[in-house]
């Protein structure tokens, strides 16, 4: 169930470490191929031979992130494109140009900050915090990829649940959870208590988006959908049809909000593009899908 180029079957390998913060003052060294010791094992950086400015980050041998230094708007992993489509639909970029509103985003799970780079390109005035468990990996990513500096983007080293619990009420518009230990998200980051914390931190109309990796039986996705649907008024799913039909391992993107989740024609057309066309399930379809599941 490892990530591949342009595939939706990706999962991140992440583990938990000490809390802190990193804002390296050293000039960016730039990426270089090789293996790098990190707090949780080994990070491997490889060139993307399909793109002159593309880089693939592996953590303990598992493809974790793809970055195109020339184009931060390019997302090579399909599931990230689906998240981007959901974000654009919920938060039209023209409404968040910095003159009235600035998108406040929290990423639980950092990797190479691919989604954070994309948000910065689409919402240049966004204020983002990326929480990454591995402090050494966060330092390397900051040096390799010349990320936006604070206050536009802050890297915070810590365990996702602990960081979330310490944040102020209604302090974020968008919360993306993309955390894996091996091939699964730790249950402590999927249960009802954690999801209620996510809802607490989100402002009215805030948007909670999770990357759920699952097997063909879809039991994890059903339970996550049931949990998110218990906490939020509206829930939606995006995934490719073979995954939703239980034919393979892969990713299911689940979103929750207390405001309606838009799914206009442009959004639906966007999901049909790319290398892996995706299906969208609205609130009614998701609740039917998860009706027999027990919330975490």
> What are 276-285's pLDDT values in tens digits?
999 999 999 9
Binning pLDDT at 50, 70 and 90, where does residue 296 land? confident
Percent of the chain with pLDDT over 70: 89
pLDDT for 6 equals 34
Q: What's this model's pTM, rounded to 2 decimal places?
A: 0.89
Could you please state the CATH topology (level 3) that the domain comprising 20-289 is classified under: Rossmann fold (3.40.50)
pLDDT for 31 equals 95
Is residue 174 predicted with pLDDT exceeding 60?
A: yes
Instruction: Compute the distance between CA of residue 193 and CA of residue 123 in angstroms, rounded to an integer.
Output: 31
Binning pLDDT at 50, 70 and 90, where does residue 134 land? very high
285-233-156 Cα angle (round to 5): 105
pLDDT digits (tens, 9 = 90+) for 217-255: 999 999 999 999 999 999 999 999 999 999 999 999 999
pLDDT for 19 equals 37
Neighbour tally for 47: CB within 10 Å: 14
pLDDT digits (tens, 9 = 90+) for 1-40: 334 333 333 444 333 333 343 443 344 468 999 999 999 9
pLDDT for 214 equals 95
Burial 64-76 (b: 16+ CB within 10 A, else e): bbbbbbeebebbb
pLDDT digits (tens, 9 = 90+) for 181-213: 877 899 999 999 999 999 999 999 999 999 999
pLDDT for 96 equals 79
Answer whether 173's CB lies under 8 Å from 202's CB.
Answer: yes
Main-chain dihedrals φ then ψ at residue 227, nearest 5 degrees: -65, -50
pLDDT digits (tens, 9 = 90+) for 99-129: 567 999 999 998 999 999 999 999 999 999 9
pLDDT for 273 equals 87
pLDDT for 146 equals 85
pLDDT for 101 equals 77
Instruction: Compute the distance between CA of residue 170 and CA of residue 68 in angstroms, rounded to an integer.
Output: 33
Q: Mean pLDDT, to the nearest integer, of 148-153?
A: 94
Is residue 84 predicted with pLDDT exceeding 60?
A: yes
* Burial (CB count within 10 angstroms: exposed 0-12, middle 13-18, buried 19+), residue 20: exposed
Structure token pair of residue 105: 């985003």
């Amino acid at each position: 169930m490892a990530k591949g180029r342009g595939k939706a079957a990706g999962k991140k390998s992440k583990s938990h470490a000490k809390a802190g913060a990193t804002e390296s003052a050293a000039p960016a060294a730039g990426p270089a191929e090789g293996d790098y010791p990190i707090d949780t094992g080994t990070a491997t950086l490889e060139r993307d031979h399909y793109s002159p400015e593309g880089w693939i980050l592996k953590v303990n041998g598992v493809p974790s992130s793809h970055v195109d230094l020339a184009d931060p708007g390019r997302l090579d992993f399909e599931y990230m494109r689906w998240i981007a489509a959901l974000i654009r639909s919920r938060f039209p970029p023209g409404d968040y140009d910095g003159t009235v509103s600035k998108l406040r985003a929290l990423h639980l799970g950092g990797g190479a900050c691919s989604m954070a780079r994309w948000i910065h390109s689409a919402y240049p005035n966004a204020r983002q915090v990326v929480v990454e468990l591995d402090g050494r990996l966060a330092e390397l990513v900051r040096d390799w990829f010349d990320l936006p500096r604070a206050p536009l983007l802050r890297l915070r080293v810590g365990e996702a649940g602990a960081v979330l619990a310490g944040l102020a009420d209604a302090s974020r518009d968008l919360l993306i959870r993309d955390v894996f230990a091996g091939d699964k998200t730790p249950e402590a980051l999927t249960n009802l208590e954690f999801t209620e914390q996510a809802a607490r931190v989100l402002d009215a109309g805030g948007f909670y988006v999770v990357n759920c990796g699952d097997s063909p039986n879809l039991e994890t996705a059903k339970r996550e959908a049931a949990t998110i649907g218990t906490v939020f008024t509206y829930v939606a799913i995006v995934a490719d049809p073979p995954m939703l039909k239980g034919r393979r391992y892969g990713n299911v993107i689940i979103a929750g909000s207390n405001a309606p989740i838009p799914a206009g024609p442009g959004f639906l057309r966007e999901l049909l593009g790319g290398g892996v066309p995706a299906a969208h399930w609205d609130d009614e379809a998701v609740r039917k899908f998860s009706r027999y599941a027990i919330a975490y």
